Amino acid sequence: MVEIVLQNIQKNFGDFIAVKNSNLKVKTGEFFVMLGPSGCGKTTTLRMIAGLEIPTSGNIMLDNNNVTSLRASQRDIAFVFQLFALYPHLNVEKNISFPLRMQKMKSSEIKERVREVSQLLRIEHLLKSNVSTLAGGDRQRVALGRAIVRRPAAFLMDEPLGTLDTEFREKMCLELRKLHNRIQATTVYVTHDQTEAMTMGDKIAVMNQGKILQNGTPNEIYSKPRSKFVGSFIGSPSMNFIPIDSAIEKGATSIFIDGNEFNIPEQHEGTIADKNFIGIRPEKMTLSENQGISGEVYASEYLGTRNVLTINTEVGQFKVRVSKDIKVSPLENVKISFDSHSGIIFDGTSDKALQSAYMTI
């Protein structure tokens, strides 16, 4: 298993910069998720790690060895695609053993490896089946089996669950994670789905427009987003951004929202912009009897263990996660309050977080 390090990696396609000057370290045995919207450069980054794309500048290191100029076949890395091309004319056993046969491995060893992998993935009973007769989840397992059987130094996975329906996806997420816990292979996993990223990743790197905006544990990314983009991309429902009435001075201990004063931790820096935002997670907001931002209930979504309220106010529409026992009806007038110490202030010009977050989850 290897450590993967990207040093100032950049990829240009003509004038277009698909990946901008990115740095990243994936530790040995880590399950590392690259998360971001479509077109942000995730696949290009993965393809550069695999050796399928040559970086315009920067270095790719595997265990301190510079592999930037090595071909894909020289890197000992397995790439699992979303649209995995299984060989339709071969059965499961032959599909899984294919890379070993290409390596001209001894047939007794091939047999042993295929047995081991199919046991691990619980597809022993399918070994003689034709892959074209398999359901989506089983095909995915075969694709994984074919990747694992080589015992590569690392796995790269590009939205491998993308084509599966929700139920299967959730199952496969858990299976993949369990598999990783057993084989502890360094894995870089690309997805645009933040729930998938949060449930699977030891670490997550959030990308947008070719840049890695932040990387850290799911908890760090959730509770200490360093930019408005990261705050809004992670979490469902998304973080609320409430406009603050004025600029924040260095040393400020309170803010005004719609004329109401809220205490905040003392700020060590001020904002450049006049218009700024405080980001509050829906579960850190509550309905209040007398104080807070006035609003009208727009919708109430009952989610079994909790209620998510959408509330329209003079300063925007917000989501509030409340206990399932709180019953409110659309058009009802309410007041929203929140613990401003659990908020993060974002500069309206740079969208960067001013303070380190105080939230805990």
Q: Least CB distance from residue 6 to ligand ATP, whole Å?
A: 14
Stretch that binds ligand ATP, among 33-41, 97-105, 223-231, 313-321 (CB under 6 A): 33-41
Nearest to 22 by CA among 207, 293, 200: 207
Contact call for residue 35 and ligand ATP (CB under 6 A): no
Contact call for residue 6 and ligand ATP (CB under 6 A): no
Contact call for residue 38 and ligand ATP (CB under 6 A): yes
Contact call for residue 15 and ligand ATP (CB under 6 A): no
265 contacts: CB under 8 Å, gap ≥ 6 = 253, 341, 355, 358
Whole-angstrom Cα distance, residue 191 to residue 226?
20
Q: Least CB distance from residue 7 to ligand ATP, whole Å?
A: 19
Contact call for residue 13 and ligand ATP (CB under 6 A): yes
The residue among 43 and 342 lying less far from ligand ATP, judged by its C-beta, is 43
Residue among 6, 26, 32, 43 that touches ligand ATP (CB under 6 A):
43
Whole-angstrom Cα distance, residue 239 to residue 338?
13
Contact call for residue 118 and ligand ATP (CB under 6 A): no
Residue among 169, 180, 192, 226 that touches ligand ATP (CB under 6 A):
192
Whole-angstrom Cα distance, residue 343 to residue 26?
30
Q: Are 342 and 322 in contact (CB under 8 A)?
A: no
Contact call for residue 194 and ligand ATP (CB under 6 A): no
Contact call for residue 87 and ligand ATP (CB under 6 A): no
Contact call for residue 343 and ligand ATP (CB under 6 A): no
# of chain residues touching ligand ATP (CB under 6 A): 12
Q: Least CB distance from residue 267 to ligand ATP, whole Å?
A: 35
Residue among 4, 22, 36, 239 that touches ligand ATP (CB under 6 A):
36
Nearest to 322 by CA among 345, 299, 290: 299
Contact call for residue 295 and ligand ATP (CB under 6 A): no
Stretch that binds ligand ATP, among 42-50, 263-271, 305-313, 344-352 (CB under 6 A): 42-50
Contact call for residue 180 and ligand ATP (CB under 6 A): no
The residue among 16 and 167 lying less far from ligand ATP, judged by its C-beta, is 16
The residue among 158 and 347 lying less far from ligand ATP, judged by its C-beta, is 158
Whole-angstrom Cα distance, residue 321 to residue 285?
7
Residues that bind ligand ATP (CB under 6 A): 13, 16, 18, 36, 38-44, 192
